[in-house]
Amino acid sequence: MSKALDHIKILDFTHVQSGPTCTQLLAWMGADVIKVERPGVGDATRKQLVDVEGADSLYFTMLNHNKRSLTLNSKTESGKEVLERLVKTCDVLVENFAPGALDRMGFSWERIQELNPRMIMASVKGFGPGPYEDCKVYENVAQCAGGSASTTGFRDGLPLVTGAQIGDSGTGLHLAFGICAALLHREKTGRGQRVLAPMQDGVLNLCRVKLRDQQRLKAGPLKEYSQYGEGIPFGDATPRAGNDSGGGQPGRILKCKGWETDPDAYTYFITQAAVWQKICDVIGKPEWKEHPDYATPPARLPHLNEVFGAIEEWTMTKTKYEVMEICNPLDIPVGPILSMKELAEEPSLRETGTIVEVDHPERGPYLSVGCPVKLSDNDVVVERSPLLGEHSDEILSEVLGYSADEIAALREAGAV
Ligand code: COA
């Protein structure tokens, strides 16, 4: 079966997490992704957080499936020549070097356009144009600069970063979207273009509801925030809201049976207005159905601590799965707090390919997250990440037409 992007060649100059997330998605959509890495060194993550001595780390393997690896020193003369041929041959160049690194290598956007006007050049940078454009940026810096940290955590605690890698993987997703749009545009115009996904912009995009709340503050307190019910005045910026739900339906994380010893024995519980009567019955508070202090969503807002306190008294008598089993048939929205262990062992996620087991010659089998987007005509088989330089010869000969002697000369010159 043909795949969505199987006619597309990607010159993958990415490293660490943000860029590789993007090119892995494109590979899963069928693109031929040629990952270019420094000879003898490779992507720094190959040797970061090593758990099996001598083997590529999980950090690397889990971000670089379905790619081919070409080692190339693009700062040597013959290495530059190879890179030029790759630019002429490929459809998209994806990179997430520190600002200016590609220019210093001699591959500015202008030069790339000269070499291949159809080329799409896609970059992740920490910041867009402006005062911080020259900064190097990692995940947590992006979370802080994009508004996530200031709005995550509890009001009386430190700003917090989240476990979800919204700065790196989130920006990789944004970049993949931009590349697909640019590829479609090229079909009409025949021309490539630049695609830029700054990490700050990506995080802010995901924090959109918090900018919404910033503006709502002008109209008065944010009534769905717990601090409103607690009588605590609002400042001039969107505050941290603990586990309050971001929408108009109040929600909290509540303890379940076993919480004293199990750090994940919790459920998320949403008091959706449409099912309030059923919630009252389930938690044994039928009198709240008609009581003027509890019967309507606005009436409940000043009493949310009391309401969730009563719900928690009930959830503490049930496991998080029992809460789900009881509430789901009643359409009460709840969700167990699932640990990574539970997710890794969940059979239904294996069946859908959301979690896959992959074999690797250096490290044996390991688990990874499969393609999170499913296309009916794009069956994804997750293939292990390449070893450093594993496909150098095959790419140089098959894609670029180098002879065996020419490849030997490149190797002699330290270019591959
Ligand atoms: N051949 C020769 N040189 C190569 C090469 C190759 N195949 N691949 C990389 N290099 C060089 C680069 O040209 C650069 O050289 P220069 O500094 O002389 O210009 C050097 O290696 C290091 O690249 P750099 O991107 O600066 O890596 P770093 O480890 O110092 O910084 C980041 C890492 C992530 C902080 C930085 O790349 C960055 O800010 N990227 C953009 C934002 C981003 O994606 N952050 C999230 C990462 S998950």
Instruction: Tell how far the Cα of 101 is from the centroid of ligand 1, in angstroms.
Output: 7
Give nearest CA residue, ligand 1 atom 11: 101
Q: Give me the pLDDT at residue 5, please.
A: 97
Please state the rounded mean pLDDT for residues 373-393. Answer: 96
Pocket of ligand 1 contains residue 41 by CB under 6 Å: no
- What average pLDDT is seen over the chain? 97
What does the pLDDT look like over 298-322, one tens digit per residue?
Answer: 999 889 999 999 999 999 999 999 9
- Which pLDDT score, from 0 to 100, does residue 1 have? 76
Q: Given pLDDT bands bounded at 50, 70 and 90, which one contains residue 412?
A: very high
Whose Cα sits closest to atom 44 in ligand 1?
96
Question: What pLDDT, in 10s, does the model give residues 345-378?
Answer: 999 999 999 999 999 999 999 999 999 999 999 9
**Which pLDDT tens digit goes with each residue over 185-211?**
999 999 999 999 999 999 999 999 999
Q: What is the pLDDT of residues 66-123, one digit of tens each?
A: 999 999 999 999 999 999 999 999 999 999 999 999 999 999 999 999 999 999 999 9
Which is it for strands 334-336 and 266-270: parallel, antiparallel or unpaired?
antiparallel
Task: Verify whether residue 331 is a known catalytic residue.
Answer: no
Measured by CA distance, the residue closest to atom 16 of ligand 1 is 101
Please report, for residues 256, 285, 315, 343, 415, the alpha-carbon distance to residue 322 in angstroms, rounded to integers and kept in the order given. Answer: 9, 19, 9, 17, 61
Residue 247 confidence (pLDDT) above 90: no
Distance 14 CA to ligand 1 centre (A): 9
pLDDT of residue 127: 98
The confidence band for 18, taking pLDDT boundaries of 50, 70 and 90, is: very high
Model confidence pLDDT, tens digit, residues 273-282:
999 999 999 9
pTM to 2 decimal places: 0.96
Residue written as token pair 């993958």: 12
- The alpha carbon of 207 and the centre of ligand 1 are apart by a number of angstroms equal to 27
Sign for the CA dihedral angle at 399, 400, 403, 407 comes to negative
The active-site residue, picked from 56, 91, 168, 244, is: 168
Over residues 257-271, the mean pLDDT reads 98
Residue nearest (by alpha carbon) to ligand 1 atom 28: 98
pLDDT at 229: 86
38 in ligand 1 pocket by Cβ < 6 Å? yes
Residue 245 banded pLDDT, cuts 50, 70, 90: confident
Strands 251-255 and 266-270: antiparallel
Q: What is the pLDDT of residue 246?
A: 73
Is residue 74 lining ligand 1, measured as CB closer than 6 Å?
A: yes
Q: Please give the pLDDT value at position 382.
A: 98
Using a 6 Å cutoff on CB, does residue 126 contact ligand 1?
yes
What is the residue whose two structure tokens read 């609002």? 234
